[in-house]
């Protein structure tokens, strides 16, 4: 062996002669080897429950929006001056009623004369809807709603 080869061999021998603790430490600059230990954080049971409840809430909200969008206009009651109207909407029946004449749920909506919605209230059944009573500053629907009419602008 030449002296150059011996010099190259000495650092390698010095490394192998080091204690096992020093040899087992990976270099900070060396790439990490693949191991069976996952570095991804695991979701705990609390996070899983929160995620499931959040997704259920989103699904129920979307179902409610879709159900509300399927309502159909049944009738309209116009105010005596024609500036406002009360519209009665019927929701589709999810289950058939006990009696064929029984009307399902719905909603009552106060709108301007041009159809801009101002307020609304739910109806348990359409049969609970009565003729609205109009006054100067409000409209009253017995056992359903009492809407306050907005003041006229530009007086």
pLDDT, tens only, 9-59: 555 555 555 555 555 555 555 555 555 666 666 668 888 899 999 999 999
Query: How many C-beta neighbours within 10 Å does residue 39 have?
Result: 6
Within the chain, how many helices (H) and strands (E) appear?
Answer: 3, 7
Contacts of 95 (CB under 8 A, 6+ apart): none
pTM above 0.85, yes or no: no
- Give yes or no for residue 155 having a pLDDT over 50: no
76 pLDDT more than 80: yes
Please determine, for residue 84, whether its predicted confidence score (pLDDT) is greater than 70: yes
Parallel/antiparallel/unpaired status of strands 84-90 and 106-112? antiparallel
């Amino acid at each position: 062996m030449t002296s150059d080869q011996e010099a190259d061999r000495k650092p390698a021998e010095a490394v192998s002669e080091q204690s096992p603790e020093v040899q087992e430490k990976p270099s900070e600059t060396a790439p990490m080897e693949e191991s069976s230990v996952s570095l991804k954080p695991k979701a705990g049971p609390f996070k899983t429950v929160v995620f499931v409840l959040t997704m259920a809430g989103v699904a129920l909200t979307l179902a409610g929006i879709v159900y509300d969008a399927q309502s159909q206009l049944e009738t309209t009651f116009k105010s005596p001056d024609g500036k406002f109207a009360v519209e009665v909407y019927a929701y589709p029946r999810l289950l058939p009623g006990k009696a064929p004449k029984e009307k399902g749920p719905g909603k009552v909506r106060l709108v301007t004369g041009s159809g801009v919605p101002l307020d609304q209230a739910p109806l348990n059944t359409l049969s609970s809807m009565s003729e609205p009573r109009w006054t100067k500053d409000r409209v009253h629907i017995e056992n359903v709603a009492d809407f306050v009419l907005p003041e006229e602008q530009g007086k």
